[in-house]
Chain A
Amino acid sequence: MSDACCSLLSAAPESEEREWTLSDYESALARWCPGCGDHAILTAVQRLLEAEQLPPEQTMFVSGIGCASRFPHYLSTYGFHGIHGRALPIATGMKLRRPDLNVFVVMGDGDCCSIGAAHWIHAIRYNPDMVALMLDNGVYGLTKNQTSPTSPKGMPSNTQPRGAFLPPMNPISTTLGVTNASFVAQTGDWLPAHLYATLQAAFRHHGFSFVRILQRCPQYTTAIYDVAVRDPNLVELMVHPDGVVVPELDRIIKNKVPHDPADLDEARRLAEPDGKIRLGVFYRNETHPVYEETRAVPARSASEKLALLGAELDRYAV
């Protein structure tokens, strides 16, 4: 990622070649409930940062509000813990003027699919080069058990005690339906190897990488994924050399479907609910224009700007 297009940053001094270790990314002790899937996701992300040797000062985690959105506080990169549903615009603004930063976005399902739904749809279309993680526990956790757009139909909550009235929305097929969808994957917090491999593929993809992480909430929604944790037969892995390949899982998960992530029609078909929890890369396409590159303009020095401003004022001269 070059910043040549972005206006004159006073260059950061070359950080002497140093190796980043896991502890360089660790921060405060995470305060999620014991057994919360977010812990595993945090660990996988820290591993990724180390593996990719991302300088903490060049890395930005942006989140909304919710349990999931506490994420940046538990890392020692730069972070921006924003407001409910609005992480994506903040991240887009950062990437637009600071394309040199590695930007990650962490959202809950309420954050992303409900209050922030407009931003989600449009972020897919803008296609900035960043990783967007949607930590989907099928419930509003932080506010204590309200129905979310991804709550299964019939799931009781404090706002719909006799069960969710509506069938859940499908974040994968929604994402796949938006113009410029670039990278769409699904993984689960209980399969750390798959989670890690998916995060890595997402990070290495050039464009907007949307990853839905099925995340267990021990407090409110154990029911949603526990069955799949106990019975690996409910899970099917999409496999392909261009997707994620996790040999460690061969012994545990037998269901596999070969799927070329270049095939959008097939991706959409696989995203339809049919009783299987499907993990892997649904779609990847690096040919879509990346927003901060589309909108990149040559930087101007102060004296160039002044000369141009003078010319501009001439047009209004009396």
Chain B
Amino acid sequence: MTMAPAPSAPRPEPSLLRVDEHTVEIVSDPGEGAQKCGQIFGRVSAKMGNGVWTVEIIPAEIQPPARTPSSASGNRIRIGTKPITNWGDAANLVVAFNEQVLLHRHRLGALAKDAVILIENRWATHDDPDICKAWGDAMEEFGTASYRFIEVPMEEECLTVIDNPRRGKNMFALGMLARIYSRDLEKIRGLIAQEFRKKAPALYDQNVALLERGWRWAEEHLDFRIDVPAVESTRPMVVMNGNQALAIGAIASGMELCAMYPITPATSASHFLSDIFDKFGGVVHQAEDEIAAIGVALGSSFAGKVAFTITSGPGLALKTEFIGLAVMTETPLVIVDVQRGGPSTGLPTKVEQGDLLAAIYGQPGDAPHVVLAPATMEECLLCMTTARRIAEAFRCVVIVLSDANLATGVQPFPRPEMSEAWLAQPPDLAPVREGVRPYDWDPQRGISPRVVPGQPGGMFTATGLSHDEWSHVGYTPDVHERGCQMRSRKLAVFQQMLKPPAVNGDPTGDLLVVGWGSTLGAIEEAVERARQVGLSVSSLHLRFLSPLEPGLKEIFQRFRKVMTVEINYSDDPNDPFVTPENRRRGQLCWLLRAQTLVDVDCWTRVPGEPLRPGQILQAIHESMPQGASR
């Protein structure tokens, strides 16, 4: 560890570090605006043509005690010359508003050994002896690390512009970062204007003054600059987080009702929707609970206006009975589960992929439906139309599994070219032909055309009871067998329409890593690094989890070993009492073993944060099958 006050004399020629990627963190107590700073830094980097991936650092409480490790709030922004697909391994540069929040990141191993840390300078010499002591203790704990600390008089500088530096440090920090990474100030001013100009012009001026002050301070005092070359994209790009993408995707799919009950990390999607949905003729209905929410969505869907409900694990559990009803009545319905850590209230703000089996099998009885999982922000947007279309074409339930990593992470992607073909058609209320039955199952395909209230001649009573083609309740063995068969068969038909997934890397080799959902980027980066050191590794990423995409067994058989990488719990084979017989495996692993009879292994973790590519790389090294070519 080196500790030096910032060099006071301006250096004529600061050193320039040119890298193809760099990871920045900004951490503060909640309310000090580190997240805003991080978001703007991420967006301006995207605008300049850098690859970007941002991850929010969120404390569990809204106002945890200040200056404690548990209060760390902020953002990690990884930028690169090429597209960035995940949050990376460790931060190279950190702006910390106090040493306690920094300590939190240090303890999590989130900082690179040689990280540069710009830290508020007032705590070391604070009037309060407890604070000085806390600072001293923290410095001792950092002791072994070789961070480069640079103390910055953030508060002192901010006081020249505003009275309450807590409300302005973030813009000062943004100014410093802008100077270090040579960000385009004009673009930043534009982003600040988007935030404030309309609401509070005075705030805009103040924020810009702070920004410029931060820039100037860095200009005069820092002896280094970092250059992550950017290539401006030739295609128009947009940048947003996964929940914003889900919200826009829902609108683009033509759905006009989102029925929900607030639950992290799903809620923010309904916040975005609530702001804009009515412009599009849509409604966000905040129901009395998750059960009512899915009930309202189901009612609307049955009446011909396909709706969706959005929730997280605990809410998905509550919706279980209604999912069965939608399956039984063959009512199209889209359910989004933005997964968080479980079971129970679990880790409300943190990522996990723990709902896969609950989503597929969580309903009593046989309740065949579709489960799919977007892997990027772009896919969060696109999948909503896919889900709505499948739901309507097959009169079925579609569950979309996102997660906290996608929900709050921000990534640029090509601007989607939406068209009228994406939008749901208004229900056709033409009279129903004589003799058409409400469940006129095509015996080969199990699919039947939907009849909608309002259609003369189509009147029937949908029921969750076992029923025949006329929707007449029937308890006889043939009626029940047939209904089950038809509801299952249409999924077989659907599965046959899917394409086998593409292998990333060589189609044969020693190890195939299989993933799903938000881990795509981290897995592919790890595989890429493994291949660079000569390992024979490829990867496969699944979007459809139920039914599974075709051809998996053939793909698996071309590798000596297959292993899933997931963010859900599995027993470590070396744990006490754990044997191959009783080992509880990762959820996708479980599915793949059952469906392919291939001895698929798994490497899973539940750290409450996204997987780091370095971790996965390590797991790959340790999992290479015996005798693998090196």
Contacts and interface: CB of A to CB of B under 8 A. Distances in A.
Contacts of A83: 321-322, 324-325, 464
Contact of A62 (B283, B299, B431, B460): B299
B14 interface: no
A77 B459 contact: yes
Interface stretch (B18-26, B300-308, B342-350): B300-308
Contacts of B459: 56-57, 76-79
B415 A313 contact: yes
A94 B303 contact: yes
Q: Is the interface of B mostly helix, strand, loop or mixed?
A: mixed
A92 B296 contact: yes
B344 to A, nearest CB: 21
Contact of B292 (A56, A61, A122): A122
A97 B305 contact: yes
Given A10-B426, A10-B429, A101-B453, A80 B462 contact: yes
A303 interface: yes
B291 interface: yes
Interface string B421-441: 001001111110000000000
A93 to B, nearest CB: 3
Nearest to A25: B459
B270 to A, nearest CB: 14
A13 B455 CA distance: 9
A278 interface: no
Which of B43, B303, B416, B456 is packed against the most chain A CB atoms within 10 Å? B303
Given A9-B426, A81-B463, A305-B423, A118 B289 contact: yes
A72 B237 CA distance: 52
A14 B412 CA distance: 50
B114 to A, nearest CB: 31
B16 interface: no
B307 A93 contact: yes
B8 interface: no
B255 to A, nearest CB: 10
B257 A97 contact: yes
A122 B472 CA distance: 32
A8 B427 CA distance: 9
B476 interface: no
A28 B460 CA distance: 11
A205 interface: no
B299 A309 contact: no
Contact of B244 (A12, A15, A316): A316
A316 B238 contact: yes
B276 interface: yes
A6 to B, nearest CB: 8
B299 A101 contact: no
A89 B280 contact: no
A263 to B, nearest CB: 29
A317 B455 CA distance: 43
Contact of B462 (A65, A79, A93, A302): A79
Which of A12, A56, A82, A121 is packed against the most chain B CB atoms within 10 Å? A82
A308 interface: yes
A86 interface: yes
Contacts of A8: 426
Given A61-B461, A62-B299, A73-B473, A298 B420 contact: no
Interface string B239-280: 110001000100110101101000000000000000010111
A97 B251 CA distance: 15
Interface string B396-422: 000000000000000010011011100
A86 B324 CA distance: 13
Nearest to A85: B291
Contacts of B419: 306
B125 interface: no
Contacts of A313: 238, 248, 415-416
Contact of A90 (B299, B415, B416): B299
A244 interface: no
B297 interface: yes
Nearest to A56: B459
Nearest to A5: B281
B591 interface: no
Interface string A260-298: 000000000000000000000000000000000001011
A83 B328 CA distance: 11
A281 B453 CA distance: 31
Contact of A97 (B46, B256, B412, B461): B256
Contacts of A55: 456
Which of A9, A80, A317 is packed against the most chain B CB atoms within 10 Å? A80
A193 B322 CA distance: 38
Contact of A101 (B256, B291, B297, B454): B454
A308 B304 CA distance: 24
Interface in B290-327: 291-305, 307, 321-322, 324-325
A81 B464 contact: yes
Contacts of A56: 459
Contacts of A316: 238-240, 244
B278 A90 contact: no
A169 interface: no
A317 to B, nearest CB: 6
A297 B278 contact: yes
B490 interface: no
Which of B281, B289, B460, B472 is packed against the most chain A CB atoms within 10 Å? B281
B130 interface: no
B298 A12 contact: no
Which of A75, A78, A118, A295 is packed against the most chain B CB atoms within 10 Å? A78
Nearest to B291: A86
B578 interface: no
A248 interface: no
A89 B292 contact: yes
Contacts of A315: 194
Contact of B285 (A9, A295, A302): A295
Nearest to A302: B420
Interface string A41-82: 000000000000001111011100100000011011111111
A73 B430 CA distance: 23
Contacts of A309: 248, 251-252, 280, 418
B21 to A, nearest CB: 18
A1 interface: no
Contacts of B463: 73, 80-81
Contact of B461 (A73, A297, A305): A73
Contact of A317 (B238, B251, B254, B298): B238
A21 to B, nearest CB: 15
A99 to B, nearest CB: 10
A91 interface: yes
Contacts of A312: 248, 251, 276
Nearest to B259: A93
Given A8-B426, A10-B427, 20 more contacts: A7-B305, A9-B429, A13-B456, A55-B456, A56-B459, A73-B473, A75-B461, A89-B299, A90-B296, A93-B257, A93-B296, A93-B299, A119-B295, A122-B287, A297-B281, A297-B282, A305-B254, A313-B415, A318-B46, A318-B236
* Closest CB pairs A-B (n = 3): A93-B299, A89-B295, A79-B461
Interface of B: 43, 46-47, 194, 233, 236-240, 244, 248, 251-252, 254, 256-257, 259, 276, 278-283, 285, 287-289, 291-305, 307, 321-322, 324-325, 329, 412, 415-416, 418-420, 423, 426-431, 453-465, 472-473
Interface of A: 6-13, 15, 28, 55-58, 60-62, 65, 72-73, 75-83, 86, 88-98, 100-101, 118-119, 121-122, 295, 297-300, 302-303, 305-306, 308-310, 312-313, 315-318
9 contacts: A13-B456, A56-B459, A76-B459, A80-B299, A86-B292, A89-B299, A94-B303, A118-B289, A318-B412
